Amino acid sequence: MTDPDPDRDPAAETALSEKWRAVLACHAATSCAIDRELGEAFGIGVSEFELLERLWEFEQEEAQAGSRAQVLSGAVHLSQSAFSRLVARMEKAGLVERSLCQDDRRGIFVALTDEGRERYRKARPVHRRILAETLPPTD
């Protein structure tokens, strides 16, 4: 795909901008609904749920509890500092635990606690309902 040139194809540029704004509006509506409902019912928001889900998925896929913090920060789309603050909050809430990696003592390993697994299990159906209600249908 070539870059739309507003001087050559203003309609294509307008359509692209409108598509981008629709993505932003959908993201905002979905994120706000998740934050509101999961916050009220489970005391977690979008980022907390994403971290719980990624840790849950890593446990299921790799048959191991936890993952390196560096891998997780990219998976939940946060900067390293925002991710560190998120993990600290969740550790304080008893949802995750941190430890040093056995293979590389400089690395941090993050794992779900039993409370984190339980919170994820309870929040997941609400999360999926919100996604079904707010995201456009796929073709």
Reply yes or no on whether the pLDDT at 1 is more than 60.
no
Average model confidence (pLDDT) for the chain?
87
- Does the reported pTM lie above 0.85? no
pLDDT tens, residue by residue, 46-61: 999 999 999 998 888 7
Query: Is residue 99 in some structural domain?
Result: yes
Query: Is residue 4 in some structural domain?
Result: no
The number of domains in the chain is: 1
Domain that holds residue 28: 10-134
Query: Is residue 139 in some structural domain?
Result: no
SS3 of residue 6 by DSSP = coil
Query: Is residue 3 in some structural domain?
Result: no
Question: Which domain CATH number covers 94?
Answer: 1.10.10.10
Of 98, 121, 99, 97, nearest in space to 44 by CA: 121
CB neighbourhood size of 123 (10 A): 21
pLDDT tens, residue by residue, 65-79: 557 777 788 888 888
Q: How many residues does the chain have?
A: 139
